[in-house]
Structure 1
Amino acid sequence: MKKFIVLILFFTFFLCLMNLSQGQLKFCTKHMTIPGVCPKDPKEAEFVCLKAFFDKYGATKSPDNCLCKPSTGNQHICQCDIICDPPPPKRT
């Protein structure tokens, strides 16, 4: 499990370095509702959300600052900052 986390973090760091050469990155906060409850351990809760965002958006969106919040029923809300999609090019 630790090797997987280290690999993901290294890959994310590498992508961030590549993207920095292209200009300033803009991060947006996204939310996702997931079945189950938040793990009690904060690090594990963050990892659950981080994995969900990697599964949905991939490493190119560089999910970061993930939080797990309880929701109604047997669900929880994951909140992470991801790299925003660039705006469409302006037409002249």
Structure 2
Amino acid sequence: MKGVVILLVSCLLFSLLSTNLGQELKWCPSREVFRGSCTDRGSPSYTCFLDFLGSKSASAMPKNCKCTPLAHNRRQCDCFIICTE
């Protein structure tokens, strides 16, 4: 009897866990302007990645970042971040 209860509880917990892990992340485009050039911290994509980590947080998980140089020693960073609902 204990074995059946343990099995049922385990199945229930596993189904709840797999439901939460199975949710796909939603990515939204985000754009910000920062001071400096696109190569201040290495490659342009890495520079924007670090900029977004500093301005948002690590939970934003920026990806596919692109840097566009702007006038007056500024750069525009476009990244995809996790959408906040």
Which whole-Å CA distance do the structure 2 matches of 1:55 and 1:39 have between them?
16
Task: Give the 4+ runs in structure 1 shifted more than 3 A.
Answer: none
Match of 1:37 in 2: 37
What RMSD over aligned residues (CA atoms) do the two structures have, in Å? 1.9
Residue 43 of structure 2 aligns to a residue whose secondary structure is: helix
Aligned residues: 65
What amino acid is the match of 2:35? Answer: P
> What are the ranges of 5 or more consecutive residues in structure 1 without an aligned counterpart?
1-19, 87-92
Match of 1:6 in 2: none
1:3-62 CA deviation, whole Å, 9 max, x = no partner? xxxxxxxxxxxxxxxxx716121111111101112129xx61111100111111111111
Question: TM-score, normalised on structure 2?
Answer: 0.67
Residue 51 of structure 1 aligns to a residue whose secondary structure is: helix
Match of 1:25 in 2: 25
- Structure whose CA Rg is larger: 2
Please state how far the C-alpha of 1:69 moved relative to its aligned partner. Answer: 0.4
> What are the ranges of 5 or more consecutive residues in structure 2 without an aligned counterpart?
1-19
